[in-house]
A and B are shown apart, each in its own frame.
Chain A
Amino acid sequence: MRVLNKKAISRRSFLKTGTVTALGLTIMGPMVIGKNNAWAATFKTLGADDAATLIQMARDCYPHDFLADKYYAKVIEGIEAQAGKDKAFKSMVSKELKKINSSAKKHYKVNYKDINRELERTDILKKNSKSPLFKKVQGDLVVGLYNNQEVWPKFGYEGESASKGGYMNRGFNDIDWL
C-alpha cells in the first residue's frame, strides 16, 4: 500500500496569493510570517494582543497540535484585512474580545489567552459561542485552515491528481490490511 509520510515537509512553500470565497466566507491569501511570534507585529490594525487572542481562539476551535501558529495566523489575517477596511467590523472585534476577556476573568481570573488549560478556554468559548466574532473566526477557519494546501500532506490528503494521471497506477485499490 502506498502510505504517505505525514511528517514530510511540504514542497509547496506558499499558497497562491488570492482570495477564496465560499459559502459567503472570504479568506485572504497569506503574508509572510516569521518565527518566534514575530507575526504579532504584522497585525497593525488589530494590534499584537488582540491578534494573539484571536489566534489562540482559532487554535482552540480546531486544535491540531502538529500545526504551527502560522497556519492559524493566516486565517486571522483575513480578519485583520477586513478590520482595516471596515470600521464597524473593527469595533465589533474589539468589543467582542472585551466581552470574551471579561467572561474569562469572571470564571478563571485571567484573560482568555492566558488561561492555561484548553478545557477552560473552550468553556469560555462555549459560553460565548453566539458571539458574532466567534462565529466569524470559526466560519473563516473551517474553510481557510483546511483549504490551505500546505496543511494537506499533514492530514494525508494528496489534492490535485489529474496531472499525475489520477490514481490508476498510484494506489487507488492498494489497501492491504482488510
Chain B
Amino acid sequence: MAKFSKNDDSLVVIIGSGAGGGTLGMELAMKGIKTVILEAGGRHGPQDFVNDEWGSFGQISWLDKRTTSGDWRVSRDFSGLPAWIVKAVGGSTLHWAGASLRFQDHEWKARTTYGDVKGASLLDWPIDGKEMAPWYAKAEDHMGTTGTNGIPRLPGNNNYKVLAAGAKKMGYKKFHTGNMSINSQPRDGRGACQQIGFCFQGCKSGAKWSSGYVSIPKGEATGKLECRSNSQVLKIEHDKNGKVNGVVYADKDGKVHKQKARIVCVAGNSIESPRLLLNSESSMFKNGLANSSGQVGRNYMRHMTASTYAIFEKPVYMYRGTTMAGIIQDESINDTRRGFVGGYELETLSLGLPFMAAFLDPGQWGREFAASMEGYDRMAGLWIVGEDMPQSNNRVTLHKKIKDQHGMPVPNVNFSDHENDIKMRNHAWKQSIALYESVGANKTIKTPPYPSTHNLGTNRMSAKASDGVVNKYGQTWDVKNLFVSDGSQFTTGAAENPTLTIVALAMRQAEYIAKQMSSKAI
C-alpha cells in the first residue's frame, strides 16, 4: 500500500472515494499513475457493518450540518437532512441498493427529445449511448452486474413475487429481478448473496459491489494508490496561473494539512462537490473555483421519487432478502400521452420497522398511522424513481452564517418540484396502487420522497462553456487540471439509478486523464 508525501506535486489527488472517486482511483493506479484519495469519513467494511437501521445510520451516514429550503417535504420533515448519503471509504456505494441500469439512448439527449419544457434548464449531454456503451460494459464487468456478462439474475424474494404478480395483472412485460451489482454466484473473490436484507446498512457478506471494499483495494494492490481516510478537504488551492496545485484538508483531530497535487479530481457527491468549489473562492476566482458560468451548484437533481406500500391480508415479510429485489421498466419510456415527459422505474424496496416508522408518512401519528404500522409484516413496497427536470434555482449554495466544525460555510440545498415531476409522481402512484390492488391489497399508502439518495447535476457537463461547469470528460472548463468525477457532472438525470453511469464515466475519465498526462497537456 502506497504512502505518498504531502509535498509530492506529481500526484493526482481525488476528493471522495465513492462510485466516482473510488473507481477513478483504482483505474489511475492500474495505469501506473500515483494517486491519493482523500476521504472525509472512516474506513468500514463487511466485518463491522451492522444489521441495525439506526445503529448503521449513526455509523456511516454523512451527518455534518446542512440546511434546506424550497417546497419539498424533506425540508419540512427532515430539515437538517436533505440527503441520506454516506461519509466513509466507499461513500454511498456502501449503502446503495445495487441497481445498475444503463441510460436509454433518448435520455442522453433530453433537450432534443423533450423540447423546451417551461421552467426546466434542460440540455443534451455532449456524449451519447454509443460512446458510453464500451464503458458501461467495462463497468458491468468490474461490478459483476447480474443479467450481464453471463451472470445469472438473483432469485426474487417475497416482495418481488408480489410485484411480479401485480405486474402480470397490469399487462406489464418488462419486469425481472433487476441488473444488480450483487453476486448471484461467487465471483471476483467475493461470495454469493445470502438474502440478508439490510442492503442499505452495508453488505455484511460482501456480495454487493462497493468501491470501498472492491475497487479501492484493487488500486491499493498496485502500490500506486493511497486512500487516506478521515481527511476532509476544505479548500482547493491554485497557483498564479490559475492551475490548481493542492488541497487543504482536516484530519480526524481537526488538524489542517496541505497536500500538493498535479491534478485534482472532485468526487464528493452533488452537495459537497459544488460546496467545495464555492468554498475555494479566491481573488482570481471570486465566484468560486471553475464557476465562470455561474452554474456551480445549480440544476440540483434528486430524481422524481416516492414510494407505495400496500397492506395485504396475509404476511409478506418484505424485509427478507435483497432490499431492491426487482424492477418493472414498462413505464420508463417517453410517452407524453401520460401528461409528462420522461419516464420512471418501479423497483421493490423495503424498510425495517424502525425506518418504516420514520419514513412511511413523516410527522403522522394516531390510530390510522398505528394501524398501518400493525400491517408491517403484511406489507409489500416499491420505490418510484424517475427523471426529474433540472431547474436553475434548485441549487446548492453556501449558508451565509452557519459554519461547520472546521469553520467552513455549510451547504444549503434548495429544491422545489417541477410540474412535470409532480405529474409523473401522481401517475406512478396511480399505477402502483392499481398494481397492488390487482393482487388483493386492502390498503395502500403513498409515501413521500425520502431524504435524497440520488444527488445529481450541480456541476453539469455541457457542450458549451457558458452552459455548464465541465466538458465531456468531466474536465472543468475554467481550470484544465481540475476535474469533476461524480454524479454532479450529470447534465440530466435520466430515469435510471445513477451509480453504473458514474462508474462508467469515471473509467472513461481515467483514460482521458492518463492520455492528457502522457502528452503533457496537463
Give the A-B contact count at a CB cut-off of 8 A: 136
Q: For A163, what are the chain B residues with a Cβ–Cβ distance below 8 Å?
A: 51
| B122-130, B132-140, B193-201, B406-414 - interface stretch | B193-201
A21 to B61, CA, bound (A): 12
Q: For B365, what are the chain A residues with a Cβ–Cβ distance below 8 Å?
A: 61-62, 138, 142
A39 to B448, CA, bound (A): 38
Q: Is the CB of B367 closer than 8 A to any CB of chain A?
A: yes
Is A171's CB under 8 angstroms from B357's CB? no
Q: Is the CB of B512 closer than 8 A to any CB of chain A?
A: no
Q: Is the CB of B445 closer than 8 A to any CB of chain A?
A: no
Q: Is the CB of A49 closer than 8 A to any CB of chain B?
A: no
Select one of B352, B369, B378 contacting A159, CB under 8 A.
B352
Is B367's CB under 8 angstroms from A159's CB? no
Is A162's CB under 8 angstroms from B54's CB? no
Q: Please give me the residue from chain A that is nearest to B80 by CB atom.
A: A24
A77 to B205, CA, bound (A): 37
Is B157's CB under 8 angstroms from A157's CB? no
Known: A143-B54, A157-B376, A159-B51. A165 touches B369 (CB 8 A): no
A84 to B160, CA, bound (A): 49
Q: How many residues of B contact A (CB 8 A)?
A: 52
Is A175's CB under 8 angstroms from B205's CB? no
A152 to B62, CA, bound (A): 27
Q: Please report which residues of chain B, range 295-337, place their CB below 8 angstroms from some CB of chain A when the two chains form the complex.
A: 314-317, 319-321
Q: Is the CB of A23 closer than 8 A to any CB of chain B?
A: yes
Is B51's CB under 8 angstroms from A162's CB? yes
Q: For B354, what are the chain A residues with a Cβ–Cβ distance below 8 Å?
A: 143, 146-147
Known: A23-B81, A172-B195. A155 touches B374 (CB 8 A): yes
Is A175's CB under 8 angstroms from B357's CB? no
Known: A145-B357, A162-B204, A166-B197. A175 touches B52 (CB 8 A): no
Q: Please report which residues of chain B, range 344-389, place their CB below 8 angstroms from some CB of chain A when the two chains form the complex.
A: 352-354, 356-358, 363, 365-367, 369-370, 373-374, 376-378
Q: Is the CB of A116 closer than 8 A to any CB of chain B?
A: no
Known: A63-B366, A172-B157, A173-B155. A162 touches B162 (CB 8 A): no
* Residue of A22, A145, A174 with most chain B CB atoms under a 10 A cut-off: A22
Report A131 CB to chain B, min CB distance, Å: 13
Q: Please report which residues of chain B, range 196-222, place their CB below 8 angstroms from some CB of chain A when the two chains form the complex.
A: 196-198, 204-205
Q: For B284, what are the chain A residues with a Cβ–Cβ distance below 8 Å?
A: none
Is A167's CB under 8 angstroms from B195's CB? yes
Q: For A171, what are the chain B residues with a Cβ–Cβ distance below 8 Å?
A: 158, 317, 320
Is A22's CB under 8 angstroms from B317's CB? no
- Chain A interface SS verdict (over half): loop
Is B161's CB under 8 angstroms from A173's CB? yes
Select one of A23, A146, A168, A175 contacting B316, CB under 8 A.
A175
Known: A22-B58, A173-B156. A167 touches B320 (CB 8 A): yes
A145 to B354, CA, bound (A): 8
Select one of A60, A152, A170 contacting B320, CB under 8 A.
A170
Q: Is the CB of A156 closer than 8 A to any CB of chain B?
A: yes
Question: C-beta contact mask, B46-57 vs A, less than 8 Å → 1, else 0?
Answer: 000011111101
Known: A21-B58, A143-B354, A162-B205. A64 touches B374 (CB 8 A): yes
Q: For B463, what are the chain A residues with a Cβ–Cβ distance below 8 Å?
A: none
Is B57's CB under 8 angstroms from A22's CB? yes
Q: Please give me the residue from chain A that is nearest to B52 by CB atom.
A: A160
Is B319's CB under 8 angstroms from A157's CB? yes
Q: Please report which residues of chain B, range 59-99, place their CB below 8 angstroms from some CB of chain A when the two chains form the complex.
A: 78, 80-81
Report B410 CB to chain A, min CB distance, Å: 15
**What are 5 A-B residue pairs whose CB atoms fall within 8 Å in the complex?**
A4-B315, A24-B80, A143-B54, A171-B158, A174-B158
New A-B pairs, 20, CB < 8 Å, besides A61-B365, A63-B367, A142-B357: A3-B315, A6-B377, A22-B358, A61-B366, A122-B366, A142-B358, A147-B53, A147-B54, A155-B376, A156-B317, A156-B377, A157-B353, A158-B319, A161-B198, A166-B195, A167-B196, A167-B320, A167-B321, A168-B195, A173-B155
| Partner-A contacts on B (CB < 8 A) | 50-55, 57-58, 78, 80-81, 155-158, 160-162, 165, 193-198, 204-205, 314-317, 319-321, 352-354, 356-358, 363, 365-367, 369-370, 373-374, 376-378, 439
